[in-house]
Amino acid sequence: MRRIRSQKKALAALNYDMFRPETIMPPAPATIYTKIRQHSGNQPPTSSETFAQTDNVLPEEAELSRMFDRLNWMYFDGRLPKTQVEYSDRMTSAGSYTPEKRLIRIGRRYHRVFPTEIADTLKHEMIHIRHFRHNAAFRAEAQRVGASVRAREHHSLRKPPRYLYVCPDCGREYPRQKRLRMASCGVCTPGKTFDQRYKLRLKRTKTDR
d(CA 76, CA 99): 18
> Does 148 lie in the same domain as 124?
yes
> Does 197 lie in the same domain as 114?
no
Output the pLDDT for position 19.
39
95-98 and 103-107 strand pairing? antiparallel
pLDDT in tens, 8-62: 565 454 444 433 444 444 444 444 445 555 554 444 444 344 444 444 679 999 9
> Does 138 lie in the same domain as 59?
yes
Domain that holds residue 176: 159-205
* CATH number reported for the structural domain that contains residue 133 in this entry: 3.30.2010.10
103-107 and 84-88 strand pairing? parallel
d(CA 124, CA 127): 5
Classify residue 134: in a domain, yes or no. yes
Q: What per-residue string of b and e applies to 133-162 under the rule 16 or more CB within 10 Å gives b?
A: eeeeebeebbeebebeeebeeeeebeeebe
> Does 185 lie in the same domain as 91?
no
Classify residue 22: in a domain, yes or no. no
d(CA 83, CA 106): 13
> Does 97 lie in the same domain as 168?
no
Name the more confident of 66 and 9. Answer: 66
Domain total of the chain? 2
> Do 181 and 200 contact (CB within 8 A), yes or no?
no
